[in-house]
């Protein structure tokens, strides 16, 4: 079904974008590369830090492979996140005007 949406969307001139959220991720230090000057040991805080969580929002355009990404600390399902609203508005604004279709062709396209 998803592949059909991508294939038919491209055939009909539709801009098919997908949206995903990853997380929540703990906002705590993780081991790895550090920014310490050469020769100085890496330091981690000894106390437990409760820095909350973060999520990763993504918009993906399968036809071109374009990806738009934003890290956020809060995104409820009740509303569309302001970043997503801005990105989707920019995507819609950049779309070419739709080609006019005959009413029967339009009806067939929607039925598909």
Residue for token pair 């991720």: 25
- pLDDT tens digits, residue range 31-73? 666 677 777 776 666 666 667 788 899 999 888 889 999 988 8
User: Both tokens of residue 30?
Assistant: 């993780």
Report the alpha-carbon distance of residue 112 to residue 110 in Å, rounded: 5
- pLDDT tens digits, residue range 102-111? 889 888 877 8
pTM of the model: 0.62
Of all residues in the chain, what percent carry a pLDDT higher than 70? 81
Phi, psi (rounded to 5 degrees) for 51: -95, 10
Does the pLDDT value for residue 30 go beyond 70? no
4: left (phi over 0), alpha (psi -120 to 50) or beta: alpha
Mean pLDDT of 7-21: 79
Instruction: Name the least confident of 25-29, 61-65, 91-95, 98-102.
Output: 25-29
């Amino acid at each position: 079904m998803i592949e059909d949406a991508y294939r038919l969307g491209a055939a009909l001139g539709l801009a098919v974008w997908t949206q995903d959220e990853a997380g929540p991720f703990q906002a705590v230090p993780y081991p790895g590369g550090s920014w310490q000057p050469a020769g100085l040991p890496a330091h981690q805080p000894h106390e437990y830090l409760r820095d909350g969580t973060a999520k990763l929002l993504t918009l993906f355009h399968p036809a071109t492979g374009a990806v738009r990404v934003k890290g956020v600390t809060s995104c409820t399902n009740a509303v569309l996140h302001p970043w997503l609203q801005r990105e989707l508005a920019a995507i819609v604004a950049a779309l070419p005007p739709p080609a006019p279709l005959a009413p029967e062709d339009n009806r067939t396209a929607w039925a598909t």
